[in-house]
Amino acid sequence: MNVNKKRIAIVSSSFETNGVSISASNEALMLAKSGHEVFFISSRNSAFLREDLPPNLHLIVINPYFCIKSLQWSLGHRLHIPVITENSTPSDIDIVKFASSLSRALPQIIEANRIDTVFFNESFLEYIFLPPTNNYQMKLDFACPRYLFNKLGISNSPINQYLHRKEIDFINRFNKYTAPTSAIANLAANYYNLESKMITIIPNAVNTALFHPLPNPVETPKIGICFAGRFSREKGADVVIEIMPGLLKKYSNLHFSVAGSSAIDECRKSKIDCLKKKIEELGCLDRFCWSPCMPYGKMPDFYRAHSIFISPTMFESFGNSIAEAQACGLPVVASKVGGVPEVVQDRKTGFLENMSDNSGFYEKLKILIEDTRLRYDMGKAAVGMTMQNFSFSAVYSRLEALLR
């Protein structure tokens, strides 16, 4: 199919290099490389600082600012400002600041740049502050539903509760809906009272020009397991803390690395410190490495320096880090939750285990540590599956029909 070239705006808060902002920036890069004129509207901390941008990909920076007027614009009178500021996290406030600033700037940006299509995702809900319009197409991606996080007990701030009410009011203004996996599409359809057929499955794209295996990997007796993402309860830190020290003790040729910031548990202790303490007690601390601020451009080398990827997460809409690790040739041991079974092919590109099944994760990692041929075969299958389903060309072929 030949699609007329569009002028597309992609809105992303991009306050940090997390899965949602990476998905948005990859989508922008993919669309630009396919010939569309793309305008990436973000905060000052754009994930695109890592890229040499094509000339048809334009960054438009909105600097969010804090003032009473912006909070009133964003939240109206349903919540009192003291409740917002006292019970909300800094990232919540940043999102509100960006959303309120965006609501003022976007109409002028669209008119000035003759934009005909705008892509939003529901994770930060910037769209709820915008007036209805018939002047351009709007696509909403169900990327990371807050309502599910609330059910898991992960996040239930006053701002979230307010945004839940608002999004129901505004959901029908969109022309098209997408989701990265059928699991998320079904959840979103039920929650928003939409028909499932209204939501098109468009996987998150992986930049395989960055994430790919080494052409001639060197065989070594050392084996590495890695974890990428915020080291927190919802991402499976408790499972890692329980099983990894024992594996390091059992296998003297094993090392383990974490790339990502650490959460603080209910006892106000750093999750990473809890892990380090257990590893140190077993005399294995010299085979553990923590990189709290790994630049995104260094992530391919991080994956390629290891042999196995672990993700005992409580939930993933898609699992960008899982797909990136697979693209680099790593077999994955991950939780059988959310959209993960649509990214990892059980017993082909890795293993899927029940969430928080510590013994299951331990045993599957043992199998991969001890079986070199299986690691190689699963890693090779992971690369092929990622290229076939999640590369820019593969994802664009599915997105193309929506752009007609």
User: Is 126 within a domain?
Assistant: yes
Helix 90-112 / helix 68-75 crossing angle, nearest 10 deg: 80
Residue 15 has pLDDT above 50, yes or no: no
- Count of structural domains, the chain: 2
Beta strands in 198-247 (DSSP E): 199-201, 223-228
Task: Tell whether 171 and 251 lie within a shared domain.
Answer: no
DSSP, collapsed to helix, strand or coil, labels residue 20 as helix
According to DSSP, the residues that pair with 59 across neighbouring strands are: 40
Return d(Cα 30, Cα 50) in angstroms, integer. Answer: 15
Token reading at 40: 């990436």
Last residue of a domain, one of 168, 202, 236: 202
Choose the final residue of a domain: 171, 202, 233: 202
More confident: 222 or 43: 222
Query: Quick one: angle between helices 237-250 and 358-370, nearest 10?
Result: 40
pLDDT confidence of residue 107: 84
Does residue 44 form part of some domain? yes
Q: Work out the mean pLDDT of the chain and round it to a whole number.
A: 83
Residue 399 inside a domain? The answer is: no
Residues 34, 123 share a domain: yes
Structural domain contains residue 215: no
The candidate with the shortest Cα–Cα distance to 329, out of 294, 381, 387, is 381
Measuring CA to CA, how many Å separate 298 from each of 229, 259, 291, 319? Answer: 14, 10, 11, 18
The answer for residues whose C-beta is within 8 angstroms of residue 403's C-beta and 6 or more apart is 3, 6, 36, 117
131: left (phi over 0), alpha (psi -120 to 50) or beta: beta
The yes-or-no verdict on residue 128 having pLDDT over 70 is no
Q: Averaged over 332-351, what is the pLDDT?
A: 97
Q: Is the pLDDT of residue 371 over 80?
A: yes
**Domain co-membership, 363 together with 270:** yes
pTM: 0.88
What pLDDT score does 304 carry? 96
Q: Is the pLDDT of residue 240 over 70?
A: yes
Query: Which secondary-structure segment (H or E) carries 120?
Result: strand 117-121
Quote the percentage of the chain above a pLDDT of 90.
51
94: amino acid identity, one letter: D
- Name the residue type at position 147: Y
| 12 in Cβ contact with 40 (< 8 Å) | yes
Average pLDDT over residues 296-310: 95
- Together in a domain, 291 and 362: yes
Contact partners, residue 303, CB within 8 Å, separation at least 6:
211, 226, 228, 309, 324, 325, 328, 330
User: Residue 256 pLDDT more than 90?
Assistant: yes
Per-residue confidence (pLDDT) for residue 105, from 0 to 100: 83
Q: How far apart are CA 136 and CA 133, in angstroms?
A: 7
Q: Are residues 60 and 101 in the same domain?
A: yes
User: Do residues 161 and 250 share a domain?
Assistant: no
Separation CA 237–CA 230 (nearest Å): 9
The pLDDT of residue 50 is 54
Alpha-carbon separation of residue 22 from 98, 252, 310 (angstroms): 18, 36, 20
Q: Which pLDDT value is given to residue 87?
A: 43
pLDDT for 399 = 92
8 A C-beta contact, residue 342 and residue 379? no
Ramachandran assignment for 350, one of left (phi > 0), alpha (psi -120 to 50 degrees), beta (any other): left
> In the prediction, which pLDDT does 138 show?
84
| Assigned domain for 404 exists | no
Residue 266 has pLDDT above 90, yes or no: no
- Which of 40-44, 154-158, 163-167, 309-313 shows the highest mean pLDDT? 309-313
Q: What is the per-residue pLDDT for 42?
A: 83
Q: How confident is the model at residue 24 (pLDDT cuts 50, 70, 90)?
A: confident
The whole-angstrom separation of Cα 143 and Cα 316 is 10
CA distance 327 to 228: 14
pLDDT (tens digit per residue) in 279-290: 999 999 999 999
Q: Which two tokens stand for residue 237?
A: 């830190």
- Ramachandran category for residue 150: left, alpha or beta (phi over 0 → left; psi -120 to 50 → alpha): alpha
In the 8-state DSSP scheme, what is residue 48? G
How far separated are the first and last CA of the chain, in Å rounded?
A: 9
Q: How many residues does the chain have?
A: 404
Site of tokens 């007690």: 281
Do 116 and 157 fall within a single domain?
yes
pLDDT interval class at 82 (50, 70, 90)? very low
Report yes or no on 179 lying in a domain.
yes
Provide CB contacts within 8 A for 277, sequence distance 6+.
Answer: none
Task: Mean pLDDT check: name the lowest of 266-270, 336-340, 362-366, 371-375.
Answer: 266-270
Same domain, 237 and 145: no
**Would the pLDDT of 69 be above 50?**
no
Residues of the domain holding 316 = 223-389
pLDDT digits 0-9 by tens, 192-220: 888 888 999 999 999 999 999 998 877 77
For position 198, what pLDDT does the model report?
92
The whole-angstrom distance between residue 124's C-alpha and the CA centroid of its chain comes to 13
Q: Answer yes or no: do 152 and 260 share one domain.
A: no
Give the residue-averaged pLDDT of 37-56.
Answer: 75
For Cα atoms 265, 267, 272, give the angle at the middle one, nearest 5 degrees. 40
Residue 378: which CATH number? 3.40.50.2000
- Residue 249 forms part of a structural domain: yes
Lowest mean pLDDT segment, chosen from 118-122, 211-215, 347-351, 379-383: 118-122
pLDDT at position 268 over 80: no
Average pLDDT over residues 223-241: 94
**Domain assignment of residue 379, yes or no:** yes
Same-domain check for residues 143 and 239: no
Sheet (strand 350-353) strand order = 288-291, 254-259, 223-228, 308-311, 332-335, 350-353
Q: What is the pLDDT of residue 85?
A: 41
Q: Do 238 and 318 belong to one domain?
A: yes
DSSP reduced 3-state for 176: strand
Name the residue type at position 394.
Answer: A
Q: Is the pLDDT of residue 67 over 70?
A: no
Q: What is the structure's pLDDT at 123? A: 58
Please say if the pLDDT value at position 367 is more than 70. Answer: yes
Look at residues 204, 211, 143 and name the one whose alpha carbon lies nearest to residue 177. 143
CA distance 132 to 169: 11
One domain, residues 40 and 179: yes
Q: Is pLDDT above 80 for 130?
A: no
